[in-house]
């Protein structure tokens, strides 16, 4: 099976596509993938690193505040759609899989005009503009949450698959991970995404002294690549003593082990992150980013909060005292952690890759009824 993938911008759009491609490659010895992205997104690093070919187009999102700037966006959309049609005709895919980001729009449009069946996957509870706009062109709308169906016009195209979760996340044992990491105490995993999150980082800095002095928990704090040097300088300037129970890194490259070992996860509320948290049954403190379109991270987090499956702290509510007190109250209440883990089970969808792959096979066979 030959599959064209489109997804770009952030890891939240690219990693699902790579996971789907990896799954398909394991189940089809003749599988061939080609990715379409932009040169501005993380796909420039992540896709080649995963061993797949990629071609680039020029596309950007619409500016809702400065409408006159959208003339250039429309021109890029038209030219990128033409280029996508050429890529499709040259690569001859059996089907097309889009996983979000602006790049998915022209690819979805080109799939319709070239007659190649396609699907677009929505990671978040509330669908973004690209997914809504692509609904007229694709064969299937693969959704991660039941609630999302209510926000879609073409409900007949909707299939609730869940979010693709990396196999290493699902198959890592907690006790083995804790032993490998040398964890002895309650373990808190804190991160703000691959690029980091300034507000979370600054708040965590202000609780490090107390964590050092109490010595009751262990934390792994991922600052994000671009923030590491700045964070370490702030810690030094404040005279904070980092003890052995605190580890600070720029990027967590063994996330599967760290997530498995954690007793509590403190993070943003990106769709893939919350899906992994649910799949592993990890109690969490979710601090949604306010700087995303349609505030979708808070909507993701509130879905978990409604089920008593996570604690939500908005940036307006976030202080060092609030974060520290919530972490300590959670780790000191085992029954609370157990209940939260149980409440996560109905939210967990661990067979998304299998479901999406089944849709790909149906599209490749022309069986789309």
Which tens digit of pLDDT belongs to each residue from 174-189?
Answer: 999 999 999 999 999 9
11 or 276, greater pLDDT: 276
Distance CA 204, CA 343 (A): 27
- Write down the pTM of the prediction: 0.81
Give residue 129's pLDDT band: very low, low, confident or very high (50, 70, 90).
confident
pLDDT over 70 (residue 65): no
Is the pLDDT at 13 greater than 90? The verdict is: no
The total number of residues written for the chain in this structure? 369
191 and 264 Cβ atoms separated by less than 8 Å: no
65 or 67: which carries more pLDDT confidence?
65
Sign, Cα dihedral of 113, 114, 115, 117: negative
Mean pLDDT of 37-58: 92
Show the domain range for 220.
Answer: 168-347
Tell me what pLDDT residue 214 has: 92
* pLDDT for position 223: 92
Please give the Cα distance from 114 to 92 (Å, whole number). Answer: 10
Q: Is the pLDDT of residue 227 over 60?
A: yes
DSSP category for residue 240: P
Statement to judge: residues 215 and 265 lie in one domain = yes
pLDDT band at 196; cut points 50, 70, 90: low
pLDDT at 345: 92
Rounded to an integer, what distance in angstroms lies between the CA atom of residue 314 and that of residue 16? 26
Q: pLDDT at position 260, please?
A: 96
Q: What is the DSSP letter of 219?
A: E
Looking at the fold, whether 153 and 245 belong to one and the same domain comes out as no
Is residue 236 classed exposed, middle or buried when 0-12, 13-18 and 19+ CB atoms within 10 A define those classes? exposed
Co-location of 266 and 196 in the same domain: yes
CA distance linking residue 265 with residue 187, whole number of Å: 9
Residue with more model confidence, 77 or 206: 206
Mean pLDDT, rounded, for 122-142: 91
Q: What is the pLDDT of residue 49?
A: 92
Domain tally for the chain? 2
* Whether residue 291 is found in the same domain as residue 360: no
Please tell me whether residues 172 and 79 are part of one structural domain.
Answer: no
**Strands 264-267 and 246-249, sheet pairing:** unpaired
Asked whether residue 258 falls in the same domain as residue 289, the answer is: yes
Residues 305 and 234 in one domain: yes
Place of tokens 């979805």: 108
> 78-82, 232-236, 257-261, 319-323: lowest mean pLDDT where?
78-82
* Domain identity same for 221 and 133: no
Tell me if 38 sits within 8 A of 59, measured CB to CB.
yes
> In terms of domains, do 100 and 182 share one?
no
Tell which wins on pLDDT, 64 or 178: 178
Tokens 């909707």 appear where?
158
Return left, alpha or beta for 134; rule: phi > 0 is left, psi -120 to 50 is alpha, else beta.
alpha
Is the pLDDT at 64 greater than 80? The verdict is no
CA-based nearest residue to 9, from 87, 126, 102, 107: 102
Question: What mean pLDDT is reported for the chain?
Answer: 91
Q: Is the pLDDT of residue 72 over 60?
A: no
CATH of the domain at 266: 3.40.50.2000
Q: Region 13-39: what's the mean pLDDT?
A: 94
Q: Quick one: 131 and 219 in the same domain? A: no
Indicate whether 144 and 155 sit together in one domain.
yes
Return the higher-pLDDT residue of 167 and 6: 6
Distance CA 194, CA 225 (A): 7
Nearest partner of 275 among 95, 8, 19, judged by Cα: 19
What is the dihedral sign for C-alpha 27, 32, 38, 40? positive
How large is the C-alpha radius of gyration of the chain? 21
Same domain, 283 and 306: yes
Q: What integer pLDDT is reported at residue 271 of this predicted model?
A: 87
Phi/psi at 261 (nearest 5 deg)?
-75, -20
């Amino acid at each position: 099976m030959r599959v064209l993938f489109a997804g770009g911008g952030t890891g939240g759009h690219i990693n699902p596509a790579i996971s789907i491609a990896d799954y398909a490659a394991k189940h089809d010895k003749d599988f061939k993938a080609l990715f379409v992205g932009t040169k501005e997104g993380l796909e420039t690093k992540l896709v080649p690193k995963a061993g797949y070919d990629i071609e680039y187009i020029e596309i950007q999102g619409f500016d809702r505040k400065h409408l006159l700037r959208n003339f250039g966006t429309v021109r890029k959309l038209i030219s990128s759609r033409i280029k996508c049609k050429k890529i499709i005709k040259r690569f001859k895919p059996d089907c097309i899989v889009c996983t979000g980001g602006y790049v998915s729009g022209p690819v979805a449009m080109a799939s319709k005009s070239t007659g190649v069946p396609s699907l677009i996957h929505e990671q978040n509870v509330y669908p973004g503009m690209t997914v809504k706009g692509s609904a007229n062109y694709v064969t299937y709308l693969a959704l991660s949450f039941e609630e999302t169906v209510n926000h879609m016009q073409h409900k007949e195209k909707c299939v609730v698959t869940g979010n693709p979760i990396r196999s290493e996340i699902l198959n890592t044992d907690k006790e083995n991970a804790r032993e490998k990491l040398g964890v002895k105490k309650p373990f808190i995993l804190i991160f703000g995404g691959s690029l980091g999150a300034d507000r979370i980082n600054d708040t965590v800095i202000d609780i490090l002294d107390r964590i050092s002095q109490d010595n009751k928990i262990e934390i792994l704090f991922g600052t994000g690549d671009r923030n590491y040097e700045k964070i370490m300088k702030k810690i030094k300037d404040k005279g904070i003593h980092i003890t052995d129970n605190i580890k600070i890194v720029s990027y967590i490259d063994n996330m599967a082990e760290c997530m498995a070992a954690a007793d509590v996860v403190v993070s943003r509320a990106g769709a893939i992150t919350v899906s992994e948290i649910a799949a592993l049954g990890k109690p969490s403190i979710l601090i949604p980013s306010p700087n995303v379109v349609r505030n979708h991270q808070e909507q993701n987090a509130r879905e978990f909060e409604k089920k008593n499956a996570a604690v939500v702290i908005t940036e307006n509510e976030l202080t060092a005292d609030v974060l520290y007190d919530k972490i300590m109250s959670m780790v000191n209440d085992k029954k609370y952690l157990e209940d939260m883990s149980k409440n996560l089970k109905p939210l967990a969808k661990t067979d998304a890759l299998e479901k999406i792959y089944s849709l790909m096979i149906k599209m490749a066979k022309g069986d789309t009824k």
